[in-house]
Amino acid sequence: MAGGGKRRVAILISGRGSNMVALIEAARDPTFPAEIVLVLSNRPDAAGLVRAAEAGIPARAIDHRAYPDRATFDAALDAELRAAAVDLVCLAGFMRILTPGFVAGWAGRMINIHPSLLPLFKGTHTHRQALDAGVRLHGCTVHFVVPELDAGPILAQAAIPVRQNDDPNSLADRVIVQERRLYPAVLALVAGGQAWLEGGRVILAAQAPDGALLSL
């Protein structure tokens, strides 16, 4: 990682990119410790690519269907990231499993947002999973990426109450509001050197806010 200055960040998306937009907007603040230098999507039709380009961020698709296997796709991704001299990678609705080799190359420098309070409800359909489990608190998590899906050390979480009449859509609507709030705050912590991975655990600097952002 280059010393001083802002950390160079790439955002990986697969879809509409509303978390991506939140990160781009936060990074416009001159005091934000990161700049968004690249957006990559594995899906050429991702709406987020258009939104990134509109925001003036270089945005490209690397279509996973053009590669024979995960390793060659990940190698192409890695080459783009390194060509752009990226320091940190943010996964924001990136719906591809990454190979252990790729993840190892970005260990401690790649974070993800997931729409549940991990370690509960990994994978997809997290709002349906929460309703089926009958939990009273639901939310989102930002964590460092490790090879095992949705299992990395947790940086921060935001919670919402589950209400009597909630369905997966109403939960998704309230969780995404918290995601767009949480992700820029966590990127600021990591890019600003106030949170890092050490020995497989997240360390928060003494002056860092704690990682619980309850929003009841």
Choice between 113 and 188, CB closer to ligand GAR: 113
- The span from the CA of 121 to the CA of 115, in Å, is 9
Residue number with the smallest Cβ distance to ligand GAR: 93
Q: Is 139 in the site for ligand GAR (CB under 6 A)?
A: no
Active site residue 64: no
Q: Is residue 18 near ligand GAR by the rule CB under 6 A? A: yes
Contacts to ligand GAR from residues 86-115, by CB under 6 A? 92-93, 113-115
Q: Is residue 102 within a helix (H) or strand (E), and if so which, with residue range?
A: helix 100-105
In DSSP notation, 109-151 reads SEEEEESSSTTSS-SS-HHHHHHHHT-SEEEEEEEE--SSTT-
33 lines the binding site for ligand GAR (CB under 6 A): no
Q: How many residues of this chain interact with ligand GAR, rule: CB under 6 A? A: 15
What's the min distance (Å) between Cβ of 36 and ligand GAR?
A: 14
- Here the tokens at position 113 are 């947002």
**195 neighbors 10 (Cβ within 8 angstroms):** no
Q: How far apart are CA 20 and CA 55, in angstroms?
A: 11
Which is the catalytic residue, given 114, 127, 138, 143?
Answer: 114
Q: Give the Cα separation of 75 and 73 in Å (integer).
A: 5
To ligand GAR, the closest distance from the beta carbon of 44 in angstroms equals: 15
Binding site for ligand GAR (CB under 6 A): 13, 15-20, 48, 92-93, 113-115, 176, 179
Give the residue numbers annotated as catalytic, written as ranges: 114
